[in-house]
Structure formats: structure tokens, C-alpha cells
Amino acid sequence: MTTRRITRKIKVGSTFIGGESPVLIQTMAATKTHDFEATADSVNKLAESGAGLIRVAVDNSDDVNALAEIRKRTTANLSVDLQENFRLAERVAPYVDKIRYNPGHIHHLDPNTPWQKKVEYLVDVARKYDVALRVGVNCGSIDPTKLTLNRSGDAVSIPSNGDLTKTESIFDPLLASALEHVDFLDSIGFTRYCVSIKSSDPQTVVLVNRRFAELRPDIPLHLGVTEAGAPPMGILKSRLALEQLLAEGIGETMRVSLTVEADQKAEEIQAARLILTNVAAGNIIDPSTPLPKLDIISCPSCSRVQNGRFVELARQLVKATEFAKDYPFKIATMGCRVNGPGETDQADVGLWCGPDKVNLKDGSTPIGSFGYDEVIEKAVALLKNKIDQFNAQHKS
């Protein structure tokens, strides 16, 4: 293991990220936030299991009110995920230790207001209530202006030291978005933040975090593979990215994101501990370990999931598509309205789950809404049609 780099050290509640602090394990509660008793119980159990920071999602006033009750029932360090609802920051800040914002999601609410003004507001809140921030850049929800520049060919290509082999990569807009936000935060004198740059592709996670660490070695990094899916594949994908980065001395905090039920979220902590143990022992997974050509991703369960059947649906879909493991397609199963519509656009077959129906997509094209009991058959039929087309195009 390479000696760990020394970054800025930021205070998050009763703990620290960066500096000489040990790598902090994070997870996320998956109970409904408005059910404050269940959520507080989950937070306490996750803290007892070894999570140094537990994130909760807040979407509305009911969640905000519940957060105040949750805070009364736990001394655990809490992070809050606001997604598009960044205006709730001042209402939740008294009850949490860190606020995560997404440069892509922050664009959508009040798009006529410059993003810099929105970030200034978040910084003002963070200073007022003594909380840290996380800049959370995600492959499925990148700032649209970065994607537009990348697709038009006008974006400044940021070198990847020759490591990037994909001809069409999300690498540049991911990195550009992160760099833009950290430069702005520094310019207004706010340094109490960490950064996450996540993708569902382990190789992209390694390359973009490695490059960011080269360019900004002073900034703490939160590592993770987003939408890694259900165990064991979700753990394998996470190991491929995180063990390699940590072995290079990169990464100050981490989360293994798994599609599991709310009462099984401690599996994320166990997987993170396995990764840290492997790195400490010099027993990291071979980076060239192959993954199936069929890429199946699913978001980690959280309080925004609108139907508890989402997790089982994701697992069933893995089994139902085993026949296609050698075909280069991507299937995405998303659990809510926040990530579902946008993050399925990049998949060949996309499912995003509502309260009673599952929306099926062919790429970015909606196919229809189907019941939880019928959508797998529809998704498999769509996949088989794509395989037939693929086979016809590749006949020798």
C-alpha cells in the first residue's frame, strides 16, 4: 500500500475526514425519513455497526420535521442529501453535520439563477450552522452544460495520462464539473468540504479520482461506485475501484452502495471493512478481473424508494437476464422519481420504479408503465429484441 496522502482535514460532527484521520466508512439509511422513529433506530444501529457518518434523504417538509426528531434520538454523525431541494438547506442544517449537493441536480431547480449563487447560499448556511459540505458529482446527473460542451466537442479535454481507453467517456464532464465547483468554493474562502466523483463503471471511478487527486491533492475524496447493484456483483464492482485507489493512497472516506433492503444496510459497512482489510493486508483484487459484458446497475435503496418491491425486482432482473451475460448491453433499475428518469437514459434497457408501476425505457425512449409482476417479462422481451438485432449486425 502506498503511503496515504495528507489532505485538508475537515470536521464532520464528532469525527474528521482527511488529514491523518483513518478512512471514514459511510452508509445511508433506507427507511422513510418521515418515519422518524424507524429512521432514528436505523441510524443508531448503523452507527453501532461501524458507520462514522450516516446519510438521510430529505425531500419535503415532513422529512424536515422528522429530521429534528431524529436528531433528538441519536448522537450519530448525520449527513443530509437534498438532491434538487437545495432550498431546504437552512431548515435541515441545525440537525445535521454535513450537507451533500450535486452540481447536476442543483442546476434543475430555478435554472435561471446562476449555480454560483446557489452554492453561495449553501456555503452561507454551512458557515451559519457549522456544517461541512460534500460536492457530489455523479455520472447519471452531470451538470447539463458540461454534457453539452462535451458532446459538441468544445470542452477542454483534461488529460488522463493515456489511461483512458474508451472512445466515448463521461470522464471529461465528470472531472470538469468537480474542478469547477472546488475552484469556486476556494475562491469564496470555503474549504470545509470533500468531493465525490462517482460512476457505475469501476474503471471510470479509478481514472477520474486518480486524475482529480493529481490535480487537487489537498482535497479529501469520498470514494464509491454508484449504482453498483446487489451483492455479490455490487461488492465486486466496488472492490475493483476502491481497493485500487486506496492502495494508491487515494481516498479519505468511502461508501459501498448496495441494493439491499432497509434492514440490511449494514452489509454496506461490512463490505467497506472488507475492502479496508484487503488494502491493509496488500491483498487487493486484480484490477484486470473481468466483469460480465452485460452491465446491470441498480441504485442503492434509500428513503426515496417509492415501493419496497424495488429491491426484489432488481434481484429478479439479474436472474432473469443471466442468458445475456455475454452481450454488451446495459440494464438500469432505479428506485425513485429523482434518479429514475435521467439515470436510465444511458442504459439500453431502463426501469424506474414508481409507487404502483414501473416505467420501462428503451434508452431514453419510454415504452410504457407496467405492474411490478409483469415488467420483468417486458424488459426481457426488449433485451431479447436488442440481442437479435446485435446478432444480425455481427453475423460473419
Q: pLDDT of 151-163, one tens digit each?
A: 444 333 444 443 4
Residue 2: pLDDT above 70? no
Q: Are 310 and 358 in contact (CB under 8 A)?
A: no
Pairing outcome for strands 98-101 and 132-138: parallel
Q: Are 54 and 46 in contact (CB under 8 A)?
A: yes
Yes or no: domain 9-280 corresponds to CATH 3.30.420.40: no
Residue 282: pLDDT above 90? yes
User: How many alpha carbons fall within 13 Å on the CB side of residue 245?
Assistant: 32
Residue 167: pLDDT above 60? no
Per-residue pLDDT tens for 200-209?
A: 999 999 999 9
From the centroid of its chain, how far is CA 271?
16
**Cis bond upstream, residue 232 (ω within 30):** yes
Per-residue pLDDT tens for 331-344?
A: 999 887 666 666 78
Helices (H), the chain: 36-48, 61-73, 89-92, 105-108, 115-129, 144-152, 171-187, 202-215, 233-247, 266-280, 310-320, 340-343, 375-393
Grid cell 433506530 — which residue? 41
The set of cell numbers assigned to 363 is 434508452
pLDDT of residue 396: 59
pLDDT of residue 166: 42
Give the contacts of 33 (CB within 8 A, at least 6 positions apart).
39, 56, 57, 58, 59, 63, 66, 67, 70, 303
Q: Tell me 88's DSSP state.
A: G
Per-residue pLDDT tens for 31-70?
A: 999 999 999 999 999 999 999 999 999 988 999 999 999 9
Domain with CATH 3.30.413.10 in the chain: 295-393
Q: Are 271 and 258 in contact (CB under 8 A)?
A: yes
Lowest-confidence pick of 63-77, 177-191, 328-342:
328-342
Identify which has the larger pLDDT, 154 or 81: 81
Buried b (16+ CB within 10 A) or exposed e, 329-358: bbbbbbbbebbbbbbbebbbbbbbbbeebb
Band of residue 305 on the pLDDT scale cut at 50, 70, 90:
confident
109: helix, coil or strand?
coil
**For the whole model, what pTM was predicted?**
0.91
Per-residue pLDDT tens for 115-159?
A: 999 999 999 999 999 999 999 998 777 777 776 655 444 333 444
What CA–CA distance (Å, rounded) separates 368 from 249? 46
- Which of 52, 208, 62 minimizes the C-alpha distance to 139? 208
Cα–Cα distances in angstroms (integers) from residue 2 to residues 6, 244, 247, in the given order: 12, 10, 6
Q: Among 3.30.413.10, 3.40.50.1980, 3.40.50.261, 3.90.280.10, what is the CATH number of 295-393?
A: 3.30.413.10
pLDDT of residue 141: 74
pLDDT of residue 108: 77
What CA–CA distance (Å, rounded) separates 353 from 372? 9
Domain with CATH 3.20.20.20 in the chain: 9-280
